[in-house]
Amino acid sequence: MSAISIEADAFAPATAADLRVARRIMWTYISTGLAIFFLMMLLGIAMRAEQAGWVTFDPGWFYALLSLHGVGMITAMAIAGLGTLWYLVRRETPLDPRIAYLAYGFFVAGALCVIIAVFPGKFGSLWTMLYPLPFVGTYWPSWATGVWLVGNALVMTGFMVWCAQILGALIARFGGILGMLGIGYVFNIRGYEEAHREPPSPQMFAAAITAIDGIIGSTFGLAAGIGMLVHWIDPSVAIDPLWAKNLIYQFGHTFANLTMYMAVAGVYVGLPLCTKREYHTSKPLAIAWWGTLLFVIIAYFHHLYMDFAQAETVQFIGEIASYLAAIPVVVVTVFSGAMLVHRSGMRWSLGSMFLYAGMIGWVVGGTAAVLDATIPINLDLHNTLWVPGHFHTYLLQGVLLFTMGWVFVTLEQRSATITSLAMRWLIGGTIFGGAAMFLLSFYIAGANGVPRRYAVEPAPGPELATVATIGALILLAGIIIAAIEALRLARLPKAQEAAA
Amino acid sequence: MSGLLVLELFLAIASAAVIVMLAVALYGSNRPAPQSEVSAKGYAIRRYWFWTILIVAAIGFAISIPRFPYGSAQTIGKHYTIVAQQYSFAAPPTIPADRPVVFDVTSRDVNHGFAIYDPDGKLVAQVQAMPDYINHLPFTFHTRGHYTVRCLEYCGIAHAAMQGGFDVR
Amino acid sequence: MKSRTVAYIVLAVTIVFAIAPTYRGQIELPVRVHHLLHAMVLVLAAFTGLLFARSAAPAKGSRAFWLIVTIVAPMLAMFLMWPSNYSPLDRLPAAHTAEHLGLALLGFLTAYAGQQYATGVGVAMSLSLWAMAFLAAWGFGVSPPLQVQTAAAAPTAAAAANAGTAPDPHHGQAVFSQNCASCHGAQGQGGMGPRLIGESSRKDLMQAEAWIENPQPPMPKLYPGTLSAQDVRDVAAYVETLK
């Protein structure tokens, strides 16, 4: 494949062959992401079962699995989302496929390092690896800390590669950062209309915000990660624990949050396909994404509410930013999504059902997050099981459903087939019912003050862990059935007028 | 604000959100309408919706400010030093009731949490215990009895067993 | 050609600015100031890179190479920002000068390679690099405002005062309930950690002391950080009494 000159050909239409390559990249990313997701889910169930007392293992292994589970899940969802976005950007402007595989290589190498740090290294400092924890009073060998840090740095490098490629392509395509963020459009709508110029499509906003905030977040993550790597090589290098905490949470919060904003591109493209309606960029949409661009990178201060040593102003900013981050979601994206579906006569295929349910899950998880981001409430909920409650809602009933919804919409469009009604009830019932049991047990335990990250929980933790384990097993069954159904759809012959 | 109260609030909002979203999707789904018709109505509603959300957020923020646990903690009440370490707390055995006290919390090794559970096992207050920093947690106890202290920041293999306690008299 | 001239002038300024602070003689700069100097070197170097990229011919062939350079250069720079009080490179003036020139080179490459890859990427990565250098100034090798060393060290200091005396199992019991009971149980009956009742049949006093001083994971090593030699002897003596 010859090199592509982005500046010259930013408007070159993608040929059928280009799209085939792009689709292959998307499926490589999505299938890797979902496969990692599935394995991490098994680890999650093992830990919940341990807390419920069904099985027992050494707490050292519990925390090692928890470390892998946390990093693995976020990386899995990110990989799937990045693949989808890459394909969607490729439809509008040329991208070099080799760079997509380069980023993929970094992700896989990083994942391998992280796995080696846990098996056999038994690294158990969790994704937060709050300094000086990975170096003090450890039960794992020092090399595991090093391999873990290197693995994380590799994942961040892959993310940086992806972000830089998309950033460069979008800048070329939309004539600079102002065009790319729709700033030129919002302040000159009439000029755009007169010139018959299109603003960036909604999914391009998702790509642009992911690229910009991704570079910002990885900068924080790499600063902390390399700082700790230097400390690992030379322990006499001092690191400020509060500084490390800020940097790591900035990266972690941004990365985790962005998985949602990556996956939402599936809604922007998928729901219009299901409803046979159009979704265009509007002024509120552009402005909402600017809000997201800013709030995603500063809302993380809510992770440090209980660090009273942190400047008080910053705590105020944390609460305001966390509140305001919710507004673009409920006022623009979810509202527009509901408007698309309302009286559209849409069929409830698995794809449309997952996309719509994902929006509901996003609102519910967001509500729990906003409540917890209120400082007086946080005083009673910080680091209780409420916190995993909210982000499991967000990831399992938001990001995962968006990803699965996008996969099913694509497969349904391709084969012009939808799943039988009984099968849809079975899959929907198991996934939503199981998830409700699994998630409610987190919230109830959190409200009762059961701490998170406890290998052995105080009452009523174990009873609720039992409920959670049963719920998670039902959910797992639903996901397995859905996966089999997806494979069946993928093997059907391609329909004539396939879109997507 | 007590955790259970927050849970009730959350369940109320969440179920309302689910019902509204389902109603929007299902109501009139057998009578399809053109997108332009739905959009015109939707945009009109969205304006009110935006201001409603913004005002609710502003009110929530205003209510929360006086309840922030920070502020003049260093000047009021008697101070008690709490030193956390893997996997125990050095804490005073008794704390007086009905009088403002301030816990000066720090750690000797890694990050820990200092979370106070009342005699009924309810989480009443917490703060992080950090090496190299002191966090000042002001609190006034009204209920007498034995309070349990748990570590709420992951600190190593025996994190779940890291406990302490004191009597409030 | 004029922009090339400007670019060379800025390059010269960058090099002078990178080298000058390394001839600081006996003046020890605080780590934070040093980091901020690095940040300024990087800003100048990135600016130079942007100027050169503007007047350079657009890259031909595979541009993936430039993308890797612009992403790896900031990470290497962060390594080179190894805080000066500790960096092995800083002990030799010549090495320190080389380190600063290396930083300047990496700053230049970040901007130049990024722009060669695609317009705008060099600017973004330069900002990322500058942000890393700036962030480093607030915590990388910078000792925190240690208000607490005294508070945290006090119990150990008190214990050190009566070091060297005979083992005192009574004091050992206090040390035990403070440091060991959460895993080994309040009476040594075991829990997350092994049962210690009857430990005297497996280890004598010397062996117990040696184990506490150098335990195998997962047991935390508390000596000499938390426990003094006397604490270790006392707690070992206490454990020997558990029957």
pLDDT in tens, A132-176: 899 988 899 999 999 999 999 999 999 999 999 999 999 999 989
Chain C residues closer than 8 Å to A242 by CB: 139, 144
For the beta carbon of residue C98, count every other beta carbon within 10 angstroms: 15
Nearest CA-CA partner of B132 in C182, C156, A244, C32: A244
How many domains, chain A? Answer: 1
Residue ranges of chain C that CATH labels 1.10.760.10: 149-240
Q: Which domain holds residue A29?
A: 12-262+279-287
pLDDT of residue C158: 36
Residue A13 pLDDT class (50, 70, 90 cuts): confident
Residues in chain B, overall count: 169
At B139, which helix (H) or strand (E)? strand B135-140
For the ranges A20-24, A88-92, C90-94, the lowest mean pLDDT is seen at C90-94
Burial of residue A491 (CB within 10 Å: 0-12, 13-18, 19+) is exposed
What CA–CA distances, in Å, run from A106 to A110, A266, C126, C132?
6, 24, 22, 21
Question: SS3 for A346?
Answer: coil
DSSP3 helix / strand / coil % (chain C, rounded to 5): 65, 0, 35
Q: Is residue A111 part of a domain?
A: yes
Q: For residues B142 and B74, is the Cβ–Cβ distance under 8 A?
A: no
- Residue A499 phi, psi dihedral angles, 5° rounding: -105, -125
| A449, part of any domain | no
Tens of pLDDT, residue by residue over A169-208, are 999 999 899 999 999 999 999 999 999 888 999 999 999 9
- In this predicted structure, what is the pLDDT of residue A499? 47
**Residue boundaries of the structural domains of chain B:** 3-67, 72-168
* B75 confidence band (pLDDT: 50, 70, 90): low
Q: What architecture is the C149-240 domain classified under in CATH?
A: Orthogonal Bundle (1.10)
Nearest-CA residue of chain B relative to C226? B108
Mutation target to probe the C interface, by most C beta carbons within 10 A, among A61, A160, A177 is A160
Token pair for A302:
């809510």
Q: Please state, in angstroms and rounded to a whole number, the distance separating the CA atoms of residues A235 and A226.
A: 13
Distance (Å) from the C-alpha of residue A321 to the closest C-alpha of chain C? 21
| Predicted local confidence at residue C174, as pLDDT | 80
Q: Report the half-sphere exposure of C210 (CA within 13 A, side-chain side).
A: 5
pLDDT digits (tens, 9 = 90+) for A352-371: 999 999 999 999 999 999 99
Instruction: For residue range B110-153, list pLDDT tens digits in order.
Output: 999 999 999 999 999 999 999 989 999 999 999 999 999 999 99
Any domain includes A466: no
Each residue's pLDDT tens digit, A199-238 = 999 999 999 999 999 999 999 999 999 999 999 998 888 8
- Considering chain A, what percentage of its residues have pLDDT values greater than 90? 89
Q: Cα-flanking dihedrals φ and ψ of residue B42, to 5°?
A: -60, -45
Residue A485 in this model has a pLDDT that exceeds 50: yes
The whole-angstrom distance between A90's CA and the closest CA on chain C is: 16
CATH class of B72-168: mainly beta
**Residue C94 CB burial class (10 angstroms; 0-12, 13-18, ≥19):** exposed
Q: What is the pLDDT of residue C85?
A: 62
Domain with residue A230: its CATH number is: 1.20.210.10
Q: B92 — contact with chain C (CB < 8 Å)?
A: no
C-alpha closest to that of A397 among B18, C211, B127? B18
Size of chain A, expressed as the number of residues it contains = 500
Q: Is the pLDDT of residue A323 over 80?
A: yes
Average pLDDT of the residues in A409-419:
94
Task: Please judge whether B135 and A60 are an interchain contact, meaning their C-beta atoms are less than 8 angstroms apart.
Answer: no
Q: Measured between alpha carbons, how far is A287 from A450 in angstroms, rounded to an integer? A: 40
Both tokens of residue B65?
A: 């400010």
What 3-state class would DSSP assign to B147?
A: strand
Q: In the prediction, which pLDDT does C187 show?
A: 80
Tens-digit pLDDT profile for chain C (243 aa)?
A: 577 888 899 999 999 888 887 776 555 678 888 889 899 999 999 999 999 998 888 777 678 899 999 999 999 999 988 876 666 666 677 888 888 899 999 999 999 999 999 999 999 999 999 999 999 999 898 866 544 443 444 444 333 333 345 677 788 888 888 788 877 877 888 777 778 887 877 777 777 888 888 787 678 777 776 788 888 888 888 888 887
Amino acid, res. B53? I
Q: What's chain C's Rg over C-alpha atoms?
A: 28
C-beta separation of B85 from B109 below 8 A? yes
CA distance A412 to C160: 74
CA distance B143 to chain A (A): 17
The answer as to whether A425 is a domain residue is no
Closest to C144 (Cβ–Cβ): which among B87, B132, B160?
B132
**CA distance to A18, A306, A448, B3, per residue, from B122 (Å):** 60, 18, 7, 9
Contact (Cβ atoms closer than 8 angstroms) between residue B114 and residue B89:
yes
CA angle A217, A223, A227 (to 5 degrees): 150
What contacts A283, CB < 8 A, 6 or more positions away? A186, A189
Q: Is C216 exposed, middle or buried (0-12, 13-18, 19+ CB in 10 A)?
A: exposed
- pLDDT-derived band of residue A422, with 50, 70 and 90 as boundaries? very high
Considering only residues B40 and C167, tell me which one the structure prediction assigns the higher pLDDT.
Answer: B40
pLDDT of A309 > 60? The answer is: yes
